[in-house]
Amino acid sequence: MSEADSLRVFATALLEDVGAEVRDDGTFLWLAVPEAVQPSLDLPAQACATFDPDRIGEFDAELVAPGSYLLEKLLTLAMRRGRWDVARFPDPPEDWVEKALRAAADLPPGEPFDLVDRNEQALGLFAFRTALTSDEKREAFHLIATTLDGAEGWSVPWPLAEEGLEPAGLPAIGPDLGPAYRRAREVLVGLMREETASFQRISLAALEEEVRRIFRYFDGTVAEVREAAPSDAGDVVRAIEAERDRRLAEALERFEPHAVASLCSVRVVLVPAARIRYRAEDGERVELRVEALTRQVRGLREPVTEAGSARPRGRPRSGTPPRRRTDDRAAGRSPRGPRARSRSASARRRGP
């Protein structure tokens, strides 16, 4: 999809979502804008928008393109709305656990595993925007899923298909998202570690080069001035040094790297989850967790040994990125029905 097409889809969806009537004739969007959002968009009740810069002004059409006034207004409005939501994942097919496990954990076909339990889990989805800035800017968007108790967190791709999610009320655990948010931050910090360090290296290298050149130039100039007129150099040297300091401050301001993150939105999703146990290649019994939304398979850090003792262990064979399979959802509800799941289990706190 081209950039203009993406903008068109976004603008139309947003305007419809805020109650506008939108008619798209292929060149222009003809809009009936509800009174409530007219000030936010700085649009009259009847308005016209275009994605083609050569059609600006025709029928008073306003441009929607990167950097345009109307797009900025649309983006601002969209960012001000939709900051939180609660949804329930509909019942997946019966075999979703096995499919998720084999896809994500690389479990060979036919390899037996034990389903320890099924439950409904509440996940927090935290959308973050990060910006690395110096004299340039690099931004990214991250979606982090966490368990609501903050015990676990992992990155998930956007768009995480949410078609078919059903509206829901906040889970019994209540709206205290503090632990989950803190875990999401930690996950984000980890995700950004390498890029942040690389950005810092590049910015500081540029700063160092600039500072070195400034010192070489101004100090060299001072030396030349002193050599040319040793007795009259005082004022000139002071002026040059003041200019050097000003340039150094300017360089620092230009190249100093900053890394900031801001939370864009939060979504709580009630989702079917399961605990699985199976015997790994080395004979260890491994317990895994998986849920139907992100299908990220999470392994316990301590394997369950025959003797019941634990020793540190890395991630089990799950190194594959999570995969969404929309056909699972389309395949219909579980034959066990919604009541088959333990609703109380969704609120159960689990240790790491």
Partner 1 sequence: MSTPVSDAAPSGSSSLSLVFDDADAAVLASVGHGPSDGARAWRLNGEAHRLSLVQGFDRLLSWSSLRGVTRYEHQERTVLRVLREMRGRALLADEVGLGKTVEAGIVLKEYAIRGLARKVLILTPPALRTQWQEEMREKFSLEFEILRSAKDWEASPLLLASLDTAKREPHGAVARRIRWDMVIVDEAHRLKNSASRNWRFVAGLHKKYMLLLTATPIQNDMDELFNLVSLLKPGQLHTYDEYLARYVATLDHRVPARITELRGRLRGVMVRNRRGISFTLPPRRVHSLPVRLTAAERRLYDDVTEFVRDAWGVSSGRLPLPARLTLIVLQREIGSSTFATAQTLAKMEHSPLFGFEEQERLGGLRAQAEAIRDNVKGGHLQSFLRSTDEKVLVFTQYVRTLEYLRRVLEADGYRVAVYHGSLSPWAKDEAVRAFRGDRQIFLSTEAGGEGRNLQFARTLVNYDLPWNPLRIEQRIGRVHRLGQEKEVHVVNLWATDTVEEYLIELLDRKIHMFELVVGELDLILGDLGARRSFEDLLMNIWALKEAEERRAALGRLGESLLKARARYETVKERNDALLKDVSEEAPA
Among positions 157-186, residues that touch partner 1 (CB under 8 A) are: 158-159, 162, 165, 167, 170, 174-175, 177-178, 181, 185-186
Site for partner 1 in 234-253 (CB under 8 A): 243, 246-247, 250, 253
> Among candidates 93, 156, 105, which has minimal Cα distance to 288?
105
Binding-site member from 238, 258, 315, 323 for partner 1 (CB under 8 A): 258
Q: Cα–Cα distance between 234 and 228 in angstroms, integer? A: 12
Q: Cα–Cα distance between 164 and 63 in angstroms, integer? A: 34
Identify whether the C-beta of residue 123 lies closer than 8 Å to the C-beta of residue 156: no
**Nearest to partner 1 of 209, 281 (CB atom):** 209
Closest distance of CB 293 from partner 1, Å: 13
Here's the x/- map for partner 1, 89-128, by CB under 8 A: it reads as: --------------------------------------x-
Does 188 interact with partner 1 (rule: CB under 8 A)? Answer: yes
Binding-site member from 21, 95, 136, 232 for partner 1 (CB under 8 A): 136
Binding-site member from 1, 26, 262, 337 for partner 1 (CB under 8 A): 262
Site for partner 1 in 215-234 (CB under 8 A): 216-218, 220-221, 224
Binding-site member from 94, 98, 111, 135 for partner 1 (CB under 8 A): 135
Given the rule CB under 8 A, which of 22-30, 99-107, 156-164, 338-346 is the region that contacts partner 1? 156-164
Binding-site member from 261, 304, 331, 347 for partner 1 (CB under 8 A): 261
Binding-site member from 257, 272, 299, 322 for partner 1 (CB under 8 A): 257
Residue 231: DSSP 8-state: T
Site for partner 1 in 17-76 (CB under 8 A): 17, 51, 53-60, 63, 65-69, 74-75
Closest distance of CB 348 from partner 1, Å: 21
Q: Which residue, chain included where needed, has tokens 């709580």?
A: 268
Site for partner 1 in 272-331 (CB under 8 A): none
Q: Which tokens sit at 178?
A: 């503090």
Closest distance of CB 119 from partner 1, Å: 22
Residue 304: DSSP 8-state: B
**Nearest to partner 1 of 75, 331 (CB atom):** 75
Q: Cα–Cα distance between 217 and 69 in angstroms, integer? A: 43
**Nearest to partner 1 of 257, 299 (CB atom):** 257
Q: Which tokens sit at 293?
A: 């939304």
> Among candidates 326, 323, 328, 271, which has minimal Cα distance to 92?
328
CA angle 286, 171, 179 (to 5 degrees): 65
> Among candidates 53, 77, 61, 55, which has minimal Cα distance to 29?
61
Crossing angle (nearest 10°) for helices 69-80 and 3-17? 50
In DSSP terms, 132 is beta-bridged to: 138, 259
Q: Cα–Cα distance between 124 and 153 in angstroms, integer? A: 9
Q: What is the rounded radius of gyration, in angstroms, for the C-alpha atoms of the chain?
A: 28
Closest distance of CB 44 from partner 1, Å: 16
Given the rule CB under 8 A, which of 148-156, 256-264, 325-333, 334-342 is the region that contacts partner 1? 256-264
In 245-348, which ranges are E strands? 258-279, 285-291, 298-299
Closest distance of CB 288 from partner 1, Å: 26
Size of the site for partner 1 (CB under 8 A): 96
Closest distance of CB 165 from partner 1, Å: 6
| Helices vs strands, H then E, count in the chain | 7, 12
Residue 241: DSSP 8-state: H
